[in-house]
Structure 1
Amino acid sequence: MKRTPMAPGKGFKRPDAAELRKKQAEARLKVPVLRPKACKACGDRFTPARKGQAACGIECALQVVADAKAKKERIATRAAKAAARPRSWWLAKAQEDFNAYIRARDADRPCISCLRHHDGSYDAGHYLTTGARPELRFTETNVHKQCVPCNRHLHGNPVLYRAELVRRVGLPEVERLEGPHAPLKLTIPDLQALRDHYRAELRELKARIE
């Protein structure tokens, strides 16, 4: 059976093709309203003429391009220097940030050996030293705030250190530290990750204290 096409509903008006094309062209030509913003070069506020415009004029635009190029060169230079630095440099930097974290962690505690609070300087003292047990260099339970006289002049004051360490972390942990351990083989990326980790830990610790 032949079907009769459905007639348009009441009030329906087929759009004129020419009128439709005109409206589409007008929509494409319509300029969006952009909000004023600060120029990246001079800081003055201006109304951009197009999206993504970062500078208020030609001179500032040239300055923005020059600044971006200089920033890119600085990043490349830092990357080249980092790649050229030996493992010993990264080890020292990781140790520096680790030690700073330990001193901040134990800021309210006395020296782990002599149990004194005083106005002198403090180190991050290793119970088992980095020379004797390098694999425990970054083990937090092996490192505590220690005054300079105990750490440097008394060679770590190990007898009193151990007595207080047992009280703080427990005898099983001390015996675990004193037991055998696999060698610690840290690559440059490992040391970079350790440095970043303890920098973040130190920032978080200081934020909690403040």
Structure 2
Amino acid sequence: MGAAGAMRPSMKSLSCRLSAFVVILAAGSVVSASENPQRTFAKDWEGSAVVLKQTLYTLVYNERGLLGNTHDARREGLMVVTAYGDVFLQFDGRQGRDDIAARDPQRILDLVSVTYQQDSVEVRSYRRLEPLLISRYSPGVELVVSEVRFKIDSVRFSFSETSGSHLVADPITSITVKWPSHFSKSFSERNVVEELIRRFVVVKAGS
């Protein structure tokens, strides 16, 4: 009886510890199950069918890798809008070059051509990036949001075409929203970002 009585506090203590452990596990499950605000935002937009309200521009180019392999007719969307509503075109730098920004599509084409000229000091000199043309996607064109990708201070919406009921995987154009500082963890900037994107596209009902 004495031994059993001595064990009761220990059993009660063990039961309390187990209960606390279960509560901790449950809390952890809630945290892991809840979505990151940026990921939730991306999922809300990806797959949405949209109609363009403004013209979007894309640079089409050939790119040669360091090993000599060539990628033909690559496409990169150029449209950028800032948190303050400023709009311009930008081709992201690569191969050690800086970003190229301008407001005129032809200016972008010319600047990329000059910036990525073949390097005459190399033993095997060749053009690593050859701009071909600027594609334009006019108001009224229907596209699908194929990807929403975040960086610390920007978010890019990539758009693809559809063939019948099937989505064409490779994006053909994009819109990038640039923020003047890092996005907050709670992504409190969401409403403003959506307002900026909706200047360029209208989401089709039911998508």
Indicate whether the TM-score tops 0.5: no
- Greater relative contact order structure (CA < 8 Å, 6+ sep): 2
TM-score for both structures, normalised by structure 2: 0.26
Which structure shows the bigger proportion of residues in helix conformation? Answer: 1
